[in-house]
Amino acid sequence: MPAKESQLGELDKEISSEEFWEDPAHAQQVSKDAANLREHIGEWKRLKQRLRDTTELAALNDESFRADLDSETMDIENELEKRSFTAMLSGPYDADDALLAIHAGAGGTDSQDWAAMLMRMYLRWAEKKGYKTEILETSEGEEAGIKSTTISINGDYAYGYLRSEKGVHRLVRLSPFDAAHRRHTSFSLVEVLPQVAFDNPEVQIDPADLKIDVFRSSGAGGQNVQKNATAIRITHLPTGIVVTCQNERSQSQNREFAMRILRARLFEIKKAEKAEEVAILRGEYTKAEWGSQIRSYVIHPYQMVKDHRFEYETGNTQAVLDGDLDGFMHAYLNRQ
């Protein structure tokens, strides 16, 4: 705790300087970091006081306080377990907001429906966490489901929790789109990116490297069809990354969201390059291939969700699809 308080003191000193607001983007990030740190320190101090008060109450050895003591002790244990888990979220971007992207893979309509199921699962999970979500882009499937979507998930440690979800997710079920009702296997890819601050020095974008196309948003017809060209497609020429955003009615908003996604993808490439270099030096590099699923969700012939990275599984498939993901996230972080 003294180290955290010292860090907060340094941030407060920077905030109080006269030139602090000369760089608004940097100032906003520092202010956010200071607020998060202040809240973190305050929570630990409040918990410490609760422990002190409970210990003093227990020392009275009064049976009339037994029920209150049992209840308070259970609450403190749950809080300590929660904080023990949060302490594992110590990566450089774990406390940040996240961008979550889902892409339907092999499996046709079934995979597009599977991508929509995953989208619902993560939105339900975020809702349970009290996180704010915003769907930045969605490409609808021809018959059902979605081809892809990108969701902004904002809240404390959103990226730290969600980074366990990055990879290929496999579904096994009786297909509702097969007239013979046969068992199908579907795949979708989940990407998790930290929402990079605009002043992050690791991501430099030269406007000359961007090809920007403006077009009309596609829709379901009638009033949903845009009469003006508001959708944005940005191509980053050096990497070939293409980002499309068409959810908003404002061209400027779509452009802003597309740039946010592009910055996050470029930042992820830089992170991956560094991780690959380190892994090769350590002799432990294995290329990630499509189809090497991290998790399987089985609805037929039995019920099971299993994570193949650390052998964690549950038989309650429906609960997982309804957003009960914390067990998998805990197991991932414990393994890390």
Dmax over CA atoms of the chain, in Å, equals 75
- pLDDT value for 173: 93
- The pLDDT tens digits for 234-256 are 999 999 999 988 876 688 888 88
Map residue 147 onto helix, strand or coil.
strand
Half-sphere exposure for 113 (CA within 13 Å, toward CB): 17
Q: If we measure between CA atoms, which residue out of 137, 134, 138 comes closest to residue 154?
A: 134
The answer to whether 129 and 194 are in contact (CB under 8 A) is no
Helix (H) or strand (E) holding 133: strand 132-140
Write out residues in the chain with pLDDT < 70, as ranges: 1, 197-200, 217-228, 248-249, 277-291
Distance between CA atoms of 42 and 261, rounded to whole angstroms?
A: 33
The answer to whether 138 and 144 are in contact (CB under 8 A) is no
Tokens 């769907």 — which residue?
A: 135
- pLDDT value for 220: 46
Omega cis (within 30) before 301: yes
Domain 207-282 has CATH 3.30.160.20: yes
Residue 184 corresponds to which tokens in the numbers above?
């199908």
Distance between CA atoms of 40 and 47, rounded to whole angstroms?
A: 11
Distance between CA atoms of 270 and 262, rounded to whole angstroms?
A: 13
Report the phi/psi class of residue 311: left, alpha or beta, with left for phi > 0 and alpha for psi in -120 to 50. left
- pLDDT value for 128: 95
Q: If we measure between CA atoms, which residue out of 163, 188, 122 comes closest to residue 268?
A: 163
Same CATH topology for 98-195+305-335 and 207-282: the answer is no
- pLDDT value for 197: 58
Q: If we measure between CA atoms, which residue out of 4, 29, 7, 164 comes closest to residue 85?
A: 164
Domain locations in the chain as residue ranges = 2-87, 98-195+305-335, 207-282
At the topology level, CATH places domain 98-195+305-335 in: Alpha-Beta Plaits (3.30.70)
